[in-house]
Amino acid sequence: MTIAPPRPGVQPPGAVPAPNPHAAAEKTARDFEAVFTGQMAKLMLESVDVDSEFGGGHGEEMFRGILTEQLGPAIAGRAGLGIAPAVLQQILRLQGEQP
């Protein structure tokens, strides 16, 4: 019985993955996208008129800020807006590295 060599990119069980040298820069780029997206959501929600009949009143006003804080990371954590890869590329370029 012969053992097949591992496929490229697939590590054998128990192998320790190689550390990512760009992990900190990637996290910074994702965090930037989350904050940027949250600020965009805040501006969009501020432009919406609150209806007196169906609006949330004082409670809505109070929690609108929390909603926008949570929207940014939620949107960026899913598919995002595509900002993080561009930011990462610029971070690495400014550090003199290749992505």
Query: In this predicted structure, what is the pLDDT of residue 90?
Result: 93
∠ CA 31-82-92, rounded to 5°: 65
Predicted confidence at residue 1, as pLDDT, reads 52
Q: What is the pLDDT of residue 57?
A: 73
Indicate the helix (H) or strand (E) that contains 46. Answer: helix 23-46
Question: 0.75 exceeded by the pTM?
Answer: no
Listed by start position, the domains of the chain span: 23-45+57-94
Residue-by-residue pLDDT tens, the chain, 99 positions: 555 555 665 666 666 666 777 889 999 999 999 999 999 988 888 887 777 777 777 777 778 888 888 888 898 888 788 899 999 999 999 988 765
